[in-house]
């Protein structure tokens, strides 16, 4: 950060840059605590696992007993983040320290990380057991950790500056597909207070585009895994936020990921003894969204899959992606949902269902704007509305049926131009959608709306832009 201005209306006064040394701010006591309290300086969606980690195996080369990893974190895709801190100018070998730690933690298992996270939380006054610590980690990454991604940590070096020996080496390592971020920390004096700034100086978009891309294209396996995890890691989170599945929706177990054909046959035989073993009911909770029909207990998708795996094989499951084990198998559409839209979702796994919804917390204000914009005498479909706002027809229909703030819900029909058989008023009324549409001048011969009066998703976006629709 080159300049920091203190603004007051039209005036802007430069802040005075100072240093951590000048104010006796220490690396562990201060800088490290800032990072732990604000993990976004390490990247989006990062969870701190531990700090000052020094529990290395006794025979570990390159990590004497007194060496401690500053911060170890976990990003949302399931990659470890190794953080090395310096409160001044980075030393010429700072990257070597980070690489050594990355090599060591690349061997960590979920059990190792769970134990470290529990100890970290306990030292900071939060009493948790191993099960709760494990749940926190799995919940952060969407219910499963990919062992291959754990083996490729990302490195973050934080200092007030970096010598050329470090920056040149980091660029070369990045071209060799080692992910390293350089973050500069600066401290400023602002009206009697200190302000700390964190600026990522490498990599930058221009370098990514023109320097690193050709080299990275040579080995894309790990990046493809990261991208796949980014799309699916929060499958449960996205489904809960989008409201795609009502509580009580029936899910069926179809074992796949992490099993062999022989194990799947054994599970099928095990299920045949008690049909309840293959069924669970959806519950809109991020951590434990499935209630097993066998015992009525809530569990995560992976946790329940692991229980089944162990019950059948007598062994511990390794690397199961539980969100790929459970498919939607419920022939009862939720209130307000068009049966055709609901049928189209049957057989999808939790990962597949999550791909249907946008990864954002929904407040439905955009849906209300769309409905407000539809003029009398025109109609649209649940699918068109969903496409316009980045959602899916099922949660759109469910919301309209329950929301008293949705205007003109009768102007939203199914894809065939008919009033959905699942249509419900959010409050008791005596009239019907057909009657209201007829009063607005929309012809519905045979119960099917005039196709020329339909507004597609692009038309809805045009209306929102204020340009009107023809």
Q: Quick one: pLDDT at residue 467?
A: 57
pLDDT score at 395: 85
What is the full DSSP assignment across 356-367?
Answer: TS-SS----HHH
The DSSP-derived string for 216-272 is HTT--HHHHHHHHHHHHTTHHHHHHHHT-S-TT-EEEE---TT--HHHHHHHHHHHH
**Which candidate, 368, 361, 306, 313, places its Cα nearest to that of 143?**
306
pLDDT of residue 346: 94
Distance of CA 393 to the CA centre of its chain: 21
> CATH number of 5-228: 3.20.20.10, 3.30.1180.20, 3.10.20.880, 3.40.1350.10?
3.40.1350.10
Name the pTM for this structure: 0.57
Residue 199 dihedral angles phi and psi, to the nearest 5°: -125, 125
Report whether the peptide linkage leading into residue 22 is cis, meaning its omega lies within 30 degrees of zero. Answer: no
Please tell me whether residue 11 adopts helix, strand or coil conformation. strand
Across the beta sheet with 279-282, the strand order is 298-299, 290-292, 279-282, 250-253, 326-328
Task: Provide the pLDDT for residue 115.
Answer: 95
Query: Does residue 284 contact residue 240 with C-beta atoms inside 8 Å?
Result: yes
- Is the separation of the CB atoms in 62 and 69 below 8 Å? no
For the chain, 470 residues long, give each residue's pLDDT as a single digit of tens: 678 888 888 888 888 899 898 899 999 999 999 999 999 999 988 999 999 998 776 545 554 445 789 999 999 888 999 999 999 999 888 999 899 999 999 999 999 999 999 999 999 999 999 999 998 998 888 767 778 888 899 999 999 999 998 999 999 998 888 999 999 999 999 888 899 999 999 987 554 444 444 444 444 555 555 555 554 446 888 888 888 899 999 999 999 877 888 999 999 999 999 999 999 999 998 878 999 999 999 998 988 999 999 999 998 877 678 888 999 999 998 888 889 889 989 999 998 888 777 544 457 888 899 999 999 999 999 999 988 887 788 888 888 988 888 999 999 999 999 999 888 898 888 999 999 999 999 989 999 999 999 999 888 988 887 655 55
Strand partners for 182 = 157, 202
Furthest-apart CA pair in the chain: how many Å? 82
The domains of the chain are located at: 5-228, 237-354, 365-464
Considering the segment(s) 365-464 as one domain, its CATH architecture is: Orthogonal Bundle (1.10)
Alpha-carbon span 325 to 304, nearest angstrom: 10
In sequence order, what are the residues at sequence separation of 6 or more whose Cβ sits closer than 8 angstroms to the Cβ of residue 391?
Answer: 242, 357, 358, 362, 367, 385
Neighbour count for residue 265 (Cβ, 10 Å)? 12
Buried b (16+ CB within 10 A) or exposed e, 35-48: bbeebebbbebbbb
Task: Identify the pLDDT of residue 128.
Answer: 93
């Amino acid at each position: 950060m080159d300049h920091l201005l203190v603004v007051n209306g039209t005036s802007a006064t430069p802040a005075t840059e100072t240093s951590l040394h000048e104010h006796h701010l220490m690396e562990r006591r201060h800088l490290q605590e800032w990072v732990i309290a604000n993990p976004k300086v390490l990247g989006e969606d990062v969870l701190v696992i531990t700090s000052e980690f020094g529990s290395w195996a006794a025979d570990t080369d390159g990590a004497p007993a007194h060496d401690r990893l500053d911060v170890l974190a976990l990003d949302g895709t399931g990659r470890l983040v190794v953080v090395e801190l310096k409160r001044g100018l980075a030393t010429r070998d700072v990257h070597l320290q980070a690489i050594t730690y990355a090599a060591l933690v690349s061997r960590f298992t979920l059990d190792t990380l769970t134990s470290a996270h529990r100890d970290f939380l306990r030292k900071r006054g939060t009493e948790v057991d191993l099960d709760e610590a494990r749940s926190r980690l799995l919940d952060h990454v969407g219910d499963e950790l990919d062992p291959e991604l754990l083996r490729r940590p990302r490195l973050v070096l934080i200092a007030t500056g970096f010598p050329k020996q470090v920056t040149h080496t980091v660029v070369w390592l990045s071209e060799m597909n080692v992910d390293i971020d350089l973050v500069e920390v600066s401290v400023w004096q602002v009206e009697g207070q200190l302000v700390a700034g964190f600026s990522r100086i490498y990599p930058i978009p221009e370098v990514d585009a023109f320097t690193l891309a050709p080299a990275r294209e040579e080995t894309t396996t790990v990046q493809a895994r990261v991208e796949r995890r980014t799309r699916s890691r929060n499958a449960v989170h996205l489904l809960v936020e989008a409201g795609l599945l009502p509580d009580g929706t029936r899910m069926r177990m179809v074992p796949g990921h992490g099993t062999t054909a022989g194990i799947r046959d054994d599970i099928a035989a095990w299920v045949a003894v008690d049909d309840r073993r293959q069924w669970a009911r959806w519950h809109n909770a991020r951590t434990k969204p499935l209630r097993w029909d066998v015992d009525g207990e809530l569990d995560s998708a992976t946790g329940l899959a692991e229980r089944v795996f162990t019950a059948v094989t007598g062994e511990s499951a390794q690397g199961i992606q539980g969100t790929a084990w459970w498919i939607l198998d419920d022939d009862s559409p939720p209130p307000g949902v068009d049966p055709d839209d609901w049928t189209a979702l049957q057989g999808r796994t939790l990962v597949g269902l999550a791909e249907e919804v946008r990864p954002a917390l929904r407040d439905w204000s955009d849906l209300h704007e769309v409905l407000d914009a539809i003029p009398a005498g025109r109609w649209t479909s649940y699918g068109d509305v969903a496409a316009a706002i980045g959602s899916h027809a099922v949660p759109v229909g469910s919301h309209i049926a329950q929301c008293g703030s949705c205007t003109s819900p009768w102007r939203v029909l199914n894809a065939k131009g008919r009033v959905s058989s699942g249509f419900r008023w959010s409050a008791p009324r005596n009239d019907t959608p057909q009657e209201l549409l007829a009063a607005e001048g929309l012809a519905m011969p045979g119960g099917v709306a005039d196709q020329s009066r339909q507004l597609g998703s692009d038309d809805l976006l045009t209306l929102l832009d204020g340009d009107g629709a023809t």
